[in-house]
Amino acid sequence: MGTSPQSPKLVKGGLVVVDPASAQVLRVVSLQYNADTLTRKLQPQEAGGEGGGNRAEPTRFKGPAVETISFDADIDATDQLEFPEQNANATAFGIGPQLAVLEALSQPTSAQLQRVDSQAGSGTLEIAPMLAPLLLFVWGKTRIIPVKLTDFSITEEAFDPSLNPIRAKVSFSLRVLTVDDLGFASKGGALFMTYLQGKERLAGKVQPVSFATLGIGGIA
């Protein structure tokens, strides 16, 4: 049965890997199935109380809130395995390729490691840490967010006769990178500002509430 032209197009959430120097897109990773839930936590960054003791100080923001995003996503090759002639990779490797792409987000490449080893072997006194790509979390057009992968786990749940994983649950923990982390002039900093400004526009669409709704006549 074909999809009705009246049906809304399903948009996939995912991640975009960007070269931090050139801002060139290196890879687009879409989730096979969108997560059912996203857990977002915002922790305000407040300047420390300068008065000391137990006296409360007025809130003073020293930067954007620290926002974390966590979610689970499923990867499943069952449907592809029903048609092995059309899905050679799934037949040979299960969901191994998809898992390998995601795992690559958490560590340097073999080429980077070999380059560092070569520099160490040549007597280079100061070896710069390996620069990771810029990672963007995309959840619809209004949420394109620079993030850092802080935790990633895979639970492999089923295997084919060759022990290739064919079903797994992956769990992501992401920390939103702000202009404090990336600066205003960078691609990531500009994307964060767009994300923050989009939230401010959304907040402006809420209908005003009167004091009467709170059961008071005012705060005078």
Beta partners for 167?
76, 158
Q: Please state the rounded mean pLDDT for residues 38-61.
A: 80
- Decide if pLDDT at 112 tops 60: yes
DSSP letter at 38 equals -
Short-list 20, 133, 19, 137, CA closest to 67 = 137
Short-list 88, 75, 64, CA closest to 156 = 75
Q: Which helix (H) or strand (E) holds 182?
A: helix 179-182
- Decide if pLDDT at 93 tops 60: yes
Q: Please state the rounded mean pLDDT for residues 176-203.
A: 96
How would residue 82 be classed by pLDDT, with cut points 50, 70 and 90? confident
Short-list 48, 86, 41, 81, CA closest to 65 = 41
Q: Please state the rounded mean pLDDT for residues 124-131.
A: 83
Chain segment 34-43, per-residue pLDDT in tens: 999 999 999 9
Measured over all CA atoms, what is the biggest interatomic distance in the chain, rounded to whole angstroms? 76
What gap in Å lies between CA 164 and CA 76, rounded to an integer? 12
- Domain ranges across the chain: 14-47+58-198
Q: Please state the rounded mean pLDDT for residues 191-205.
A: 96
Structure confidence at residue 106 (pLDDT): 93
Tell me the pLDDT of the chain averaged across its residues.
Answer: 91
Chain segment 5-18, per-residue pLDDT in tens: 666 778 999 999 99
Structure confidence at residue 52 (pLDDT): 55
- Decide if pLDDT at 133 tops 90: yes
Structure confidence at residue 9 (pLDDT): 77
Specify whether the backbone of 140 is left (phi greater than 0), alpha (psi in -120 to 50) or beta: left
How would residue 1 be classed by pLDDT, with cut points 50, 70 and 90? very low
What gap in Å lies between CA 85 and CA 91, rounded to an integer? 9
How would residue 127 be classed by pLDDT, with cut points 50, 70 and 90? confident
